[in-house]
Structure 1
Amino acid sequence: MKEITLTVAEYNLAGCSNIDINTLTLTSKPLLVLLHGWQDNAATFASLWPLLTQHYNVIAFDWPGHGKSDHKNGDNYYHFVDYIDDLHQVITQLKHEKVYLIGHSLGAIVAGCYAAVFPEYVDKIVLIEGLSPLTENPDMIVERLRVGIVSRQRYRQRQQRLKQRSMASFTEALHLRASANQLPLSLLDAVVKRATVERDGRWYWRHDPRLRCDSLYRMAQQHAQALLSSINAPVLSIIGDSGYASVYKSDVSEWGIQDFTQVMVSGGHHCHLQSSSDVYRHIRTFIPTEFD
């Protein structure tokens, strides 16, 4: 996988691909666009890259404020719906008829919403440990706005300290991330390498501290339902046997998704790291090529 840069309206997104995106034309290989989760980066799929690139064209990029991508300018923040806009800007500049979206966590939620809103660009979607946008009772709107705005003010008051927070070594950063995710160090090495930068003997996180500010708005259940029930593309949901309970659906009819399959693999919320071979096997079955 080679480093690439995708230019959207306000910033550059860093990414990785096994193809030259500037000369990409229609080929017999399906094009997979990999979408990572909140405070992860494109390298969360690194263990899948050598498997997927045998049969597919692959693009994985860092969301704005994540990994090696630019941070948003000025006093801008990271609204969930803006990720859908970012994805649309990426997809519309690719010279490909339709793409296959593979998302983890936040990336899975974005993939589902995008497939509902722009079905003409999407063939199939794979959702790893993610399904519905976060929802809450409409009665929470006042409290949600208050908490979100207060969190922004708190960030502004301590932004310099947050940006200057550093670690003595890469190993310290790796241990911190492994502790937070409760995963072995070896599974997170690539992610942490892409998430950190060394300056003058100290290690810093690349991600924008504003990512941790609370949301100003969350959808009501009816809004999420309307989005998911509008997905026409076939959906494969991959969940970990010890992952988030909220993504397990014994009865998917409540969401109204027309073509939905859910499979379980060993692992937790990052089951694509813990069970890469099984995740790959399910993707290969779900997205065949003309050579199969």
Structure 2
Amino acid sequence: MLCFRKLTNFNKSFGSVRWTSSVKREFKEVEIKVPWGHVAGKWWEPYDTRPILTIHGWQDNCNTFDRLIPTLDKTVGFLAIDLPGQGYSSRLPPGMIYHYSNFILTVRSITKSFHWPAVSLMGHSLGSILSYVYSMLYPSEIDFLICLDAMKPMITSNKHIHMAKALDQFFKYNDYAIDSKEPPCYSIEEMRELISKPNDNSILPEYTTYIMDRNIAPSKVQPGKYYFTRDPRIKTGGLISFCQEEMVKLAENMKMPIFVMKASESSYYEKKEKYYQVLDVLKKASIDCDFHYVEGRHHLHLNNPEKISSLLNDFIQRHNVQDRSIGGIKEDIIRDFRPIFIEHTCKEVS
């Protein structure tokens, strides 16, 4: 069965690509109003029930789940969003820093917009941390939580030094954000390398197109080159400030089912003892703490979704038991009423 991956305006420069797959899944582009503008994303079928809210990692966008979600349980939908300042979502107003509380407010705004009686969360990297913190703040509202290659906020030494550096960097990136000049521009191959290289070459080069799809635009002054459209202020980091003692204590309240995947070739970004100290508490507190250590890189869900899809499906099927009838898609948030299909596991053909 042949299906076609939608090409955005940015992707036209990559050339026409045809894909073959045995499975396809439909989604619709959406824009959800929030106090500072809108949050964009993809709502994956089904549309008439409450979905799993799905959150990407730092400087990525919702396309990071394009290869995973088609492999997952089709009885429940997924709303994969672009965080503020990334993908097609609105930036924060000039002069504002991207503190983690802005991202938590984004999640809260979405849950209130749809009047969800309960919330299902899935995140990767920063998205996992945000999902974890939201669940920590509102534990009684969460029916289940999925964390992919991150979990709790990382605890680092010399936190005051990192914060001071981030605040100083803000002024540099804020100038970029309000400057009318184009940001630095690169060729497509340079873009691929810049996206692939972080986190020890986390994204395989052949899958960088997924991130580029909602993340770059063609230069108007340098033909054949492109620039990143994400807000440069994101580079200052999320300024999350918890201590390990808080994380251990608050983990005792995390009674909801929790799926945790740790990739073997990915860093902990802190002393790993701190990670496992909290995980040990979760294993006692949660009614089902389903932990898996899986071979792969930080972007395992994008590079090799087949390694975790069956594990995720088993977890979702066990815990997708609460009513989802309230909180389906609203017609006024759909950007394109034509259904879009995307592949399961892809093989490019000429």
Q: Which residue of 2 aligns with 1:165?
A: 184
C-alpha distance in 1 between matches for 2:159 and 2:196: 35
Asked if structure 1 preserves the Cα contact closer than 8 Å seen for 2:142 and 2:256, the reply is yes
RMSD: 2.7
Quick one: distance in 2 between partners of 1:223 and 1:265? Answer: 28
Per the alignment, residue 195 of structure 2 pairs with 177
Match for residue 150 of structure 1?
168
Distance in 2 of aligned mates of 1:275 and 1:224: 31
- Between the aligned partners of 1:264 and 1:229, the Cα distance in structure 2 is 22
Q: 1:215 and 1:282, CA in 2 relative to 1: closer, same or farther beyond 3 A?
A: closer
Contact 1:41 1:66 in 2 (8 A): yes
Alignment-mate amino acid for residue 179 of structure 1: K
For residues 278 and 130 of structure 2, what CA distance do their matches in structure 1 show?
Answer: 22
Identity of aligned residues (%): 21
Q: Distance in 2 between matches of 1:149 and 1:250?
A: 30
Amino acid paired to 1:167: Y
Paired with 1:167 and 1:69, the residues of 2 have a C-alpha distance of 23
TM-score, normalisation: structure 2: 0.72
Greater RCO (CA < 8 Å, at least 6 residues apart): 2
Partner residue in 2 for 1:2: 28
CA gap 1:13/1:149 in 2 versus in 1, 3 angstroms: same
The answer to whether the Cα contact below 8 Å between 1:228 and 1:257 also exists between their aligned partners in 2 is no
Q: Is the 8 A contact 1:115 1:232 kept in 2?
A: no
Distance 2:103 2:295 in 1: 29
Is the alpha carbon distance of 1:3 and 1:171 closer, same or farther for their aligned partners in structure 2, counting shifts above 3 Å?
farther
- From 242, 245, 258, the equivalent of 2:285 is 258
Q: Deviations over 1:196-226 (max 9, x none)?
A: 1224344121111101125556222223334
Greater shift in the superposed pair: 83-92 or 238-247: 238-247
Secondary structure of 2:285 counterpart:
coil
Gaps of 5+ in 2: 1-26, 322-350
Match of 1:15 among 41, 51, 61: 41
2:262 pairs with 1:242:
no
8 Å CA contact 1:163, 1:209 repeated in 2: no
Deviations 1:51-82 (A, max 9, x none): 22623211100000111111111100110122
Find the residue that maps to 1:64 and give its secondary structure.
coil
- Partner Cα separation in structure 1 for residue 175 and residue 119 of structure 2: 42
**Residue 105 of structure 1: how far off its partner (Å):** 0.7
Alpha-carbon distance between aligned partners in 1 of 2:282 and 2:49, rounded to the nearest angstrom: 36
- Which deviations, in whole Å up to 9, do the C-alpha atoms of 1:95-153 show, x marking residues without a partner? 5432321111111111111112112331111111111112245xx46434432322223
**Any idea what SS the aligned residue of 1:249 has?**
helix
Does 2:59 align with 1:39?
yes
1:50 is displaced (CA, Å) by 1.6
Displaced runs of 4+ in structure 1, greater than 6 A?
none
Change (3 A) 1:20 1:9: farther
Equivalent residue for 2:314?
A: 285
**1:263 is paired with a residue of what secondary structure?**
strand
Distance 1:277 1:127 in 2: 17
Give the distance between the partners of 1:35 and 1:256, measured in 2 at CA: 23
How many correspondences in the alignment? Answer: 281
Q: TM-score of the superposition, structure 1-length normalised?
A: 0.85
User: CA 1:229/1:163 → structure 2, altered by over 3 Å: closer, same or farther?
Assistant: farther
CA positional deviation for 1:256? 7.2
Q: Tell me the CA shift for residue 230 of structure 1.
A: 2.3
Extract unaligned runs of 5+ from structure 1.
none
Please give the alpha-carbon distance, in whole angstroms, between the structure 1 residues aligned to 2:303 and 2:109: 31
Matched residue, 1:104: 124
Q: Secondary structure at the match of 1:264?
A: strand
Give the drift of 1:236.
Answer: 0.9
* Cα distance change, pair 232–274 in 1 and its aligned pair in 2 (3 A): same
In structure 2, the residue matched to 1:206 is 229
